[in-house]
Structure 1
Amino acid sequence: MALIPQPPQGVPRAGHMIVCGDDALAERLAAELTTVYRERVTLVVPPTRTNGSPTTRRAAALVSRVQAVMNRAETSAADQDPAAPHVIEAADPDEATLTAAAVRDAAALALVHDDDETNIHAALAARRLNPRLRLVIRLYNRRLGQHLEELLDQAAVLAVPGLDPDALDTSTTVLSDADTAAPALAATAVAGTSKVVQADGLLLRAVERTPPGDSQVADTGMCTLALLSSTTSDPAGAEGSDTSGREAPLLLPDDDAVAAARGRGMVVLEAVAHTAPAPPPRRLTGRAVPVGALFSRRLLWSLAGLAACVLGVAVATWLTTGDHPVHAAYLTVLDVFAIDDPALDGPLARQLLQLIAGLAGLLFLPVLLAAVLEALGTFRTASVLRRPPRGLAGHVVLLGLGKVGTRVLARLTELRIPVVCVEKDPDARGIPLARRLRVPTVIGDVTEEGVLDSAEIRRAHSLLALASNDTTNLEAALYARSVRPDLRVTLRLYDDGFAAVVHRTLRAAHPRAVTRSRSVSTLAAPAFAGAMMGRQVLGAIPVERRVLLFAALNVAGHSQLEGRTIAESFRPGSWRVLALDTAAPGERLPDLAATPAPDRTGRVGGLVWDLHPGYVLRAEDRVVLAATRQGLAELLGRQPRARTRLVGEP
């Protein structure tokens, strides 16, 4: 039975947002909608286990805790403090709970439980209660998510007969927090400076660099997305957790700020391309069986030597006996397998060749047996996890093969980066993937001595600690730094305050090493919030301890964009238009991530990235823009805000 508190001023009102979840993503998403988008939020959480803790006090504590990890610099000074979300405690988001949360009057519902089945059941019930509801569902199974989107959207259209589907303000978006965060985590571990946003086929890649001169930035024609708070000479300090004595990071700077940023690191948009699917791993089935995968090199050389010996005996028999070459080869094969009669009355040369062939036959038998055993062993170990090979160096040690670790492993494999996985649970979600991709994997508790050594941590390039336990990740990082002080380390930590302390401590102890701390929920929450507002968020990249979003947006209805030029629509620190979809409105793809490959002119589908500053944005245009949290919230917000002067305005 759900516990439904009824505070006097906390009853949900029409047009509110509902978030149902049981982990950190739900908390951060509620705070994102409340503090950034200024929305009225109803949060449905499992019942608290703490006796004597009122629900209203729990809600206030939840918002204050999550607000502490958000950057207050992105919040406008004209905004007032957001109201705490209305909290409903319920074991499951069933139909009764959704009704109590006023789902019939809600604008959007986010189902972010860690269990896919729970989210699916709640989505079906919510669509039945409110066909106009905008649904955002967290699912790990991507194929199932595509089918679910089509099913729920079709159900919404059929539930409102006689209404134009385009006029129905409803949509279903299926997202995965692991997919959202995996590209950034993988890039951080590999290079420490690369940042990618990948949604299906669309790839936006950015890099951190310190320009040698201001003119070179302008000559490249690349967009500067951010100015970092520290220079590249201090890689461990480019995290923004301790900005004392240094300038704070600046997102989406204007040309004057870029020109004045001498010696500061920059995040620059480097490339926009379409990624091809990674080739499937080699298997032992197919038209051509890879011989090298079946037999060892030593065995192959042994077989080659014996074949050369038999060939030599056959040639010698042909030359000494004068027989036909085919008959001479036939006699040699019979001698090798000891089938022919002994040449007692034959010439001396024939007798000697027969002895040599017999000796070769004796040597051939154990080699043939070894080949059979090796082939059987290869097929048997094809389903067994590989051990790290001897002499392995320059690889990434990936700790944890849960939901996030599995996606990061797939991403690193696509980039052809050597990986060694460490996992405590032999039945973890990513074990089958590691087995199929033939990735070396160590099964063991990383807190036990020798486990990281088995992963060749002393010769590794970086450590990517993605276990679900912060203490485990920290212990692994500390041990890795004790054996390799210069090792690149990326930690998955939930609490940002704890992450800042860890970052400063590791930087002080190892100033020449690179340390990064990332939160999956922090990277994923902006994409979920943008989807709840009815817009497509392609992805997010971390800029120190902030997040920069890439989103697709229709210009119609946005006074900050419509009727303005590209230069006039640019608001430093808030948003910047990057690309324009030139396809006709009736021919546009619903998902920009599914844009086809470049045409003969080199243009990527209908997207144009090299925009003229004087182009005037029209109502029928659709653009791709980079935005901060607060900037995107202002563009998508449904409530009036204080107006801020745009570039080019008097």
Structure 2
Amino acid sequence: MIVCGDDALAHRIAGELAEVYRQSVVLVTPAAGGPNVSEPRVRVQHADPTPPDEPTLVEAGVRRAEALALLYEDDEVNMRAAFLARRLNPHLRLVLRMYNRNLGHRMAELLDQARGADPAEDDGGRDATTIVLSDADTAAPALAATAVVGTRKIVQADGLLLRAAERIPAGPEDAADTGLVTLALLSSTANDPAGADGSDRSGRLAPRLLPDDADVRAAAGHGTVVLEAVGHEPAVSRRRESRGASPRELLSPRVRWALAGVCAAITALAVASWLTTGDHPLHAAYLTLLDLFAIGDPAHGEPTARQVLQLLAGLLGLVLLPLLIAGALEALGAYRSAAALRRPPRGLAGHVVLLGLGRVGTRVLVQLNELGVPVVCVEDDPDARGIAHARTLRVPVVLGDVTQEGVLEAAKIHRARALLALTSADTTNLEAALYGRTLNPDLLVALRLYDDDFASTVYRTLRAAHPEALTRSRSVSTLAAPAFATAMMGRRILGAIAVERRVLVFAALDIAGLPQFEGRTVTEAFRPGAWRILALDTGSTEAPEVQDLPGSAAPPEPPGLLWDLHPGYVLRPEDRVVVAATRAGLAELLGQGPAAEPRRRGAGTQESGRSPSGEQPPQA
């Protein structure tokens, strides 16, 4: 495996491939890029050219490699390197990190066509497809969910939709709500809603992924992550985002109330003229308007009531003129400011302060906007990627360095309910969290932190200083690495959800060739803490046999996902299932985990370049 990148994600994926999947990895990275990798299966090759040139890729062994991951932050750099790698090895599996999703899909089609047009010999059944992923898209749902306690976590990929919900019991005497399928037991309880998120990754306080029924019953009072539904993603028409000012923004409330009062007074004068003069109602309204705009004849010799009404209409016209000018100026200012950044409204409260509008922050902003959560963004770079999105979505933005005094106050942090610190600098995120807690002790804080040990130390410190406040820490590379690593192994996972600082992945697997599943019932195939079958893809199964399953509902038309699968259903080689798995569990299912390696050595099929493993299995 070859991994090319210049940031923490490349190092995390290289470690994931070596530790979890037991692969030999060549990490191509700049001399001063990222942390050191101590895994013996990883060979670090320092290369300054960006993108990597032909000599660099040849030295890394691209002609003999099984997969290549291009993880540079610049989409153009990844595309240029992908074309070069496809020319050097047409049968190479490519995994590209692309922020532009539309361009990425077209790139994948083009690179696959280039592979198919190559006249070289057949690749022997190897999966040499091109897979395009985005770390921002993978991590954004989990990061957005940290800002809303109890929010639903949704995984959408390839037309499939999986929805999970985080549930906290109301009291310690309440049992864990199992719902459909319990995916994880959280460290949080009714007495300790903040839990041990990030404080003890290996001890008893850590969350338990994919527990069995006995663990769920014994975990009374613990929070749970429960699977609510599995289905096909509905086709929803895209909403057009308004780029101009809304009608409510054209005029201020005071001007609107003043205009409403003037209109009410004009109506009253017209009614009074109709009642006193006996004219037709339309004629009475016409005379009132003439008097209002000072273009009517003076009421000489007219009845007294008519003269009084004319004077009142003239005075009302004097009031109407400045109101019309004020309204026109306000509307002009609103249209001019529609292209500018909004400032936080004076009475704003209960919102989320989002720090950082880079790749990840922009995706999180879109997620929060779709959830209907009010957001105020803080960014020090006026040319940041997410500024245009914030302007389009009409989200308030405060431009300034968050480490400077007064910036968080301008974002109304003292009345906010959550702070999402998502910059790429751990120290900046920590400083913003500490200052935010000073201004608002009850603030829910979610930090983007790379190092797990540093995150644990930060959590314990903030927990001791503010025991009643919620603190969460997330790592973008930790959330995204399983998707990229699994794609390099030739299987595309559907998505991942964060369970505190651990990751639970969802994958669609074929039963054929999996001894852990083939010929077993759904209950027998379940391994607590490793994997669990969630649904049967009836699109790859003959409909009559699926309809005859005992205790199972008939598949929808057209065939989709059968998520209420009977526990006694025997898995067949032609079946395709959706599973939830830990990282180590998925590696074992793919035949690359620690448990599968002794079988490969015993069968005499150990691949060259892979050292025997005497290590302990890594934590999921």
Scaled by the length of structure 1, the TM-score of the pair is: 0.83
Aligned mates of 1:226, 1:210 — CA distance in 2: 14
Answering whether residue 144 of structure 2 is matched by residue 186 of structure 1, we say: yes
* Kept after mapping to 2: 8 A contact 1:131/1:160: no
Partner of 1:312: 268
Q: What is the CA deviation profile of residues 20-45 of structure 1, one whole-angstrom value per residue up to 9, with x for unaligned ones?
A: 10000000000000111001111111
Superposed, which structure 2 residues align to 1:424-503 within 5 Å?
424-503=380-459
CA drift at 1:570: 1.3
1:320 Cα offset (Å): 4.1
Structure 2 counterpart SS, 1:236: coil
1:170 to 96, 121, 128: 128
Aligned to 2:19: 35
Please tell me whether residue 45 in structure 1 is matched to residue 3 in structure 2. Answer: no
* Residue from 535, 545, 564 that aligns with 2:491: 535
Alignment of 1:140 onto 2:99: yes
Distance 1:404 1:332, change over 3 A: same
**What residue number does 2:114 align with?**
155
SS in 2 for 1:620: coil
DSSP 3-state at the match of 1:410: helix
For 1:376, the equivalent position in structure 2 comes to 332
- Between the aligned partners of 1:560 and 1:116, the Cα distance in structure 2 is 39
Rounded Cα–Cα distance in structure 2 between residues aligned with 1:232 and 1:604 = 43
What displacement does 1:192 show? 6.4
**After superposition, where does 1:64-83 map in structure 2 within 5 Å?**
64=38, 82-83=40-41
Match of 1:398 in 2: 354
Give the aligned partner of residue 36 of structure 2. 62
1:113 to 2:87 alignment: no
Percent identity of equivalent pairs: 63
**What residue number does 1:506 align with?**
462
CA distance in structure 1 between the aligned counterparts of 2:205 and 2:381, rounded to whole angstroms: 44
User: Judging changes above 3 Å, is the alpha-carbon distance between structure 1 residues 278 and 481 closer, same or farther for their aligned structure 2 residues?
Assistant: farther
| 3-state secondary structure, aligned to 1:390 | coil
User: Counterpart amino acid of 1:486?
Assistant: D
Consecutive unaligned residues of structure 1, counting only runs of 5 or more, are: 1-16, 50-57, 68-81, 588-598, 645-650
Match of 1:78 in 2: none
Shift of 1:307: 2.2
Alignment TM-score, normalising by the size of structure 2: 0.87
| Aligned position for 1:558 | 514
Mark the CA change 1:265 to 1:217 in structure 2 (over 3 Å): closer, same or farther. closer
Aligned-residue RMSD, C-alpha: 3.0
Question: Structure 1 residues 240, 426: CA separation in 2 closer, same or farther (over 3 Å shift)?
Answer: closer
- How many angstroms apart in 2 are the aligned matches of 1:454 and 1:550? 41
Query: 2: CA distance between counterparts of 1:98 and 1:390?
Result: 56
Quickly say closer, same or farther: Cα 1:139–1:353, change in 2 above 3 A: same
- In structure 2, how many angstroms separate the alpha carbons of the residues matched to 1:441 and 1:330? 49
State the distance in 1 between where 2:324 and 2:503 align.
61
Tell me which residue corresponds to 1:522: 478
For the 8 Å contact 2:358–2:385, the answer to whether it is kept is yes
1:472-504 per-position Cα deviation (integer Å, ceiling 9, x unaligned): 111111111122222211111122221111111
- Counterpart of 1:343 in 2: which secondary structure? coil
> Residue in 1 aligned with 2:259?
303
- Distance in 2, Cα, partners of 1:463 & 1:221: 30
Query: Residue by residue, what CA displacement relative to the aligned partner does 1:88-122 show, whole Å, maximum 9, x if unpaired?
Result: 42422223322222212211110001111100111
Aligned-partner SS, 1:326? helix
Deviation (angstroms), 1:434 = 1.0
Instruction: Give the whole-Å Cα distance in 2 for the aligned partners of 1:549 and 1:331.
Output: 75
User: Counterparts of 1:249 and 1:322 in 2: how far apart (Å)?
Assistant: 83
Aligned residues: 585
With over 3 angstroms needed to count, the CA separation of the structure-2 counterparts of 1:221 and 1:511, relative to structure 1, is closer
Structure-2 change in CA distance of 1:212 and 1:326 (3 Å): closer
Give 1:549's match in structure 2, choosing from 496, 505, 512. 505
Q: CA deviation at 1:149?
A: 1.6
Change beyond 3 A, Cα 1:629–1:245: closer
Aligned partner of 1:616 among 570, 573, 581: 570
**Partners in 2 of 1:278 and 1:456 — Cα distance?**
32
Q: Name the SS of the counterpart of 2:533 in structure 1.
A: strand
Q: Which amino acid aligns with 1:29?
A: I
Structure 1 residue 308 displacement after superposition:
2.7
Q: Which runs of 5+ in 2 are unaligned?
A: 544-552, 601-620
TM-fit CA distance, 1:340: 2.3
Q: Distance in 2 between matches of 1:642 and 1:168?
A: 23
Is the alpha carbon distance of 1:550 and 1:211 closer, same or farther for their aligned partners in structure 2, counting shifts above 3 Å? farther
Specify the alignment match of 1:570 in structure 2: 526
Q: CA deviation at 1:614?
A: 1.2
Whole-Å separation in 1 of the counterparts to 2:152 and 2:414: 24
Indicate if the aligned counterparts of 1:574 and 1:627 stay in contact, CA closer than 8 A.
yes
2:582 is aligned to 628
Relative distance call for 1:217 and 1:601 in structure 2 (3 A) is farther
Change (3 A) 1:305 1:84: closer
Single out whichever of 324-333 and 464-473 deviates more from structure 2.
324-333
Choose 380-389 or 88-97, whichever is displaced more.
88-97
Whether the 8 Å contact between 1:205 and 1:272 is mirrored in structure 2 is no
1:207 aligns with 2:161: no
1:228 aligns with 2:182: no
Distance of 1:563 and 1:301 partners within structure 2 = 74
Alpha-carbon distance in 1 for matches of 2:534, 2:353? 36
Moved more, 197-206 or 611-620: 197-206
Letter in 1 for 2:200: D
Using the alignment, how far apart are the partners of 2:557 and 2:463 within structure 1?
44
Residue of structure 2 in register with 1:20 after alignment: 4
Describe the superposition over 1:35-65 as per-residue Cα deviations: whole angstroms up to 9, x where unpaired. Answer: 110011111112348xxxxxxxx9xx8222x
